[in-house]
Chains A and B, each alone.
Chain A
Amino acid sequence: MSMWSRIRNAFRGDSLSGEILEEYEGHIADAVADGLHPAEARRQFGRPLVLLETSRDFRIVSWLDSLRGDVVFAWRQLKKNKVTSLAAVLSIGLAMGACTSAFRLIDALLLRPLPVDHPERLFVLSREFNEPIHGKLVTNDSCAYPMFRQMRELVKDQAELVAISYVSRVDLTFTTADQTEKANQEYVSGWMFSAFGLHPALGRVFTEADDKTPGAHPLAVLSYDYWQSRFGGDPHIVGRSFRVGNDLYQIIGVSQKPFSGTDTGTPVDIFLPTMMMRNNAIARDDYEWFRTFVKLKAGVAPGTVQDRLGLAFQDYLREYAKTFRTISKEVLKAYFSQRLLLNSAAPGVSALQGDYGLSLFVLGVLVSLVLAIACLNVANLTAVNATARSREIALRLSLGAGAGRLLQLVLIESALLACAGAAAGGVFAFWAAPYVVRMISSPVAPTQLNLSADWRVLGFCAAITFAVTVVLCLPAAWRVSAIEPVSALRGDTLRSRNRMIHSLTAAQAGFGFLVVFVATLFITSFERLSKQPTGFDSDRVVTLETLTAAPVKAVFWEQVADQLRSLPGVASVGLSEWPLMTGESWNNLVSVSGRPNNQAPSYFLSTSPAWREVMRIPLLAGRDFRAGDQMPGSAIVNAEFAKAYFGGGDPIGKSFDVANLDGARSSFRVVGQVADARYLDMREPMAPVAYVPFTSEYSRATFIVRTVNENPLTMASLLRQEIARSRADFHVSSIRTQNELIESHTVRERLLAILALFFAAIALLLAGVGLYGLLNDAVLQRQREIGIRMALGAKPGAVAIRIATQTLAMVLIGVAVAFMFALAGVSYIKSLLFGVKATEIWVLAAPGAIILILAFIASMPATFAAARVDPARTLRAE
């Protein structure tokens, strides 16, 4: 009989016994049929039950049988305390699910290899240097094409270099459809597909021949997912074309699934050849617009290629520095301190990784602490159960049951709880991980992560299930093994029990403190960041980013603005090249009266005369723009700009130059000064900004509309129609309220604050329940001791105070230890915080106070129970 049938037999133990007995009965029947007296036949046969045991042992895997028995026993044990078991499973499940969700996200963002040939051989070039102003170490992975071309030639024998641009969200129109739609587009080297081992799913993909001459290859390859979702996998898609701005592209094929670019979190819909990048991008030294991926040939060490490229990079830097005219020593020093690095790009490379990698890790730690609290609760519960059964266990031990078998029973009970928790957690994680992705995602920058389960996620689930099992059974196992039959049967309590309650109390309080501490940091950060003054009034303001087929003179833009002004419900309309705080920026080095440039670049923005009024940025001195202001020529500067370049004095009438690295200059005269307003984001301090007149030709600009109505979006479709009606070549690309733009800078902080708050609440609830359970149990255990004390004359109050003080001391110890960890660990999350220090009194006091109050409330019932102990009854009961 095979192992399999023995294993199977272990699960059909009853019917197996029946079968064996049936065979025995057949034998006896045959003997009787042969003429034997039935009683004699039975006597001759021997003792069937003893034989049965022997036979069974041959026919089944006996350890599996005992395991099955224990599982059934443990299951009954859990079913006996339905509510407690359910609470245990739910609390562990929630915490395990949260851990799994965090890991799923970490896996999808930082670990999962790209679906390309040999992802472990894929690297990305990045430059590391000390930023000239603060000396901070900065990494930058953007490259310019001339350098890329040289480097590719240089290491051709050892690696293939591939240029892949940043993903941009563009408006495009398919020739078969009138509607403009949005898609993620990326410029890639023609040889990317072959270097990555990617084949076409339909038609063909780019080759090197499709990426040779600037502007000469209007071809496009679709990603498989986009082909499926946008065109339903239409097999006739090849040969169709679409328009982006003025350029017409022809679709030549669909790339193989599931590859959708290298920018983890932002799937690419359309690939274009790098040669089609606009702005003379192929020839320009100063235009850095793509990442350089390095695909090593088999057997080549990344260090070798890094060294070779590094030398070429230094040569390149020296060569390029010859074009500099006016540059300060510090900037030059920083420039030459740049080092070239080869970083692994196996999981893809994206800004999202930098933004959220650490956040996810911190959240992971946070939910691990919650899991620890949940586990301690349940571990204590199983330990209490084990103690409650200590007489039964002692009896089993004295009857000769092996301690191993008893430990197995405890282990199985824990494993059952852990597995049930893992199942509940799986359900939670199934929902929670995509929920977090949705919170990060926005319509402007849709985020999509491949969250499908892989071996890492499954391995992680198995690992935490195992870890939880171990944590759950340790206290119980310790207590079972500490049971001495003699004293347990006599009814003694364990002395080690008190020590365990004490350490569990301290641990609960400590973990709880840590979670609440981190939550306080995140919530305070979010609070302070979102309360940062912006310097303008964003309520009731909607921005309409508008594209035109060809550059259009400013006067025509103003005509459309006038049309909008005539609409009822519109309070005022201004124009700027882009809205404030989209993340877009135009910066330049400024110099005043021929002196070297300031090292910090200043921001620039083209604005129409009405713009300042619409944004409600206070005018401090001078005037707004008016007809006749020239670009370059007039400028309005903010207070920070006046401080940086004019020593804080009145800047009106003064001049400054904008200098490019090649030495070309344009001059501006300050006509007005306005108050500071945020340009880029909420985190950086107010920066010097110069507003310049909106007087050139633009193929893209934004109407800034202030509405009468509270909710400016109610006007959105009306405004869109009006713009399209005013000029047929104007097309509104996106409509966002100014508040939406501001909030987009606090998405991460908001996410962290919400999740931290949620988990802090869970942690407090669990820790509270846990502390209550621990202390209540402690009082029950010590009833006899308390009874004796009271019989000897101790006052009830004194006993209660004693219990409460002990609890408090344990809680304080736990908090103190956690506090040390918190101070040591907080420097790692500094980049996630804003305007809050871990040493701030409120940040430390609030969590400490919360934990103490929690401990106080949780210890009340136990303290009162201790005070109410009736010595006569307790001692008689013993």
Chain B
Amino acid sequence: MPKSDKLQGSLDLLILKVLSRRPNIHGYAITSAIREISEEILKVEDGSLYPALHRMEEEGWIRAKWTNTEAGVRRRLYELTKAGQKQLAEEESRWQHVTLAVNRVLRMA
């Protein structure tokens, strides 16, 4: 399992991407989604998700609201904002650039 700090930079991208596909999900659902889609290769350390979420909320990329579940417990649901969509596009293209560059280096070497 990669440690969260190695995922630095990509964690934001993953969260934003998940939220762009599935709006209004809570924190646990985000980690589960990342795990499932990456077929268990990418695992986010559960706790470190939240400071990231709160930071992105602060940046204005995502917003959160409390809703009551059927079980009567409150859950905090997150969704992407306009700024978040823009950020996602930027991060995605940056990621493509970097991976492309890394691949080139790997091929040349």
Interface residues of chain A, those whose CB is within 8 Å of chain B, are 1, 6, 20, 22-24, 26-27, 29-31, 34, 41, 44-48, 51, 54-55, 58-59
Contact = CB atoms under 8 A, between A and B. Distances in A.
A48 B54 CA distance: 14
B51 A55 contact: yes
B45 A23 contact: no
A20 B47 CA distance: 12
Contacts of A51: 47-48, 50-51
Interface of B: 26-29, 32, 45-51, 54-55, 57-58, 60, 73-76
Given A31-B28, A59-B54, A59-B58, A26 B75 contact: yes
A24 B76 CA distance: 10
A46 B46 CA distance: 7
Given A26-B28, A26-B75, A20 B45 contact: no
A55 B56 CA distance: 11
A506 to B, nearest CB: 54
B80 to A, nearest CB: 15
Taking each of B45, B50, B55, which has the highest tally of chain A beta carbons within 10 Å of its own beta carbon? B50
Main secondary structure of the interface of A (DSSP, over half): helix
Contact of B76 (A26, A31, A45): A26
Contacts of A23: 27, 50, 76
A58 B57 contact: yes
Given A1-B57, A1-B58, A34-B32, A26 B74 contact: yes
B36 to A, nearest CB: 11
Q: Nearest 9 CB-CB pairs, A to B? A: A46-B47, A30-B28, A54-B51, A58-B54, A45-B46, A55-B54, A45-B47, A58-B55, A58-B58
A414 B72 CA distance: 49
Contact of B50 (A1, A20, A29): A20
Nearest to B57: A1
Contacts of A1: 57-58, 60
A59 B76 CA distance: 15
A592 to B, nearest CB: 97
A58 B51 contact: yes
A60 to B, nearest CB: 10
Contacts of B49: 27
Given A30-B29, A31-B46, 18 more contacts: A23-B50, A23-B76, A24-B50, A26-B74, A27-B26, A27-B46, A27-B50, A30-B26, A31-B28, A46-B45, A46-B46, A46-B48, A47-B47, A48-B47, A51-B47, A51-B51, A58-B51, A58-B54
Nearest to A43: B46
A283 to B, nearest CB: 80
Contacts of B47: 24, 44-48, 51
Contacts of A34: 28, 32
Nearest to A53: B51
Contacts of B32: 34
A59 B60 CA distance: 11
Contacts of A26: 26-28, 73-76
A22 B74 contact: yes
Nearest to A55: B54
A415 B76 CA distance: 40
A44 B58 contact: no
Nearest to A54: B51
A47 B50 CA distance: 12
A54 B54 CA distance: 9
Contacts of A41: 46
A415 B50 CA distance: 38
A55 B60 contact: no
B46 A44 contact: yes
A342 to B, nearest CB: 59
A48 B50 CA distance: 10
A595 B32 CA distance: 120
A109 B91 CA distance: 66
B48 A27 contact: no
Nearest to B75: A26
A149 B22 CA distance: 87
A55 B57 CA distance: 11
26 contacts: A1-B57, A1-B58, A1-B60, A20-B54, A22-B74, A23-B76, A26-B28, A26-B76, A27-B26, A27-B27, A27-B28, A27-B46, A27-B49, A27-B50, A30-B26, A31-B28, A41-B46, A44-B45, A46-B45, A46-B46, A46-B47, A51-B51, A55-B51, A55-B54, A58-B57, A59-B54
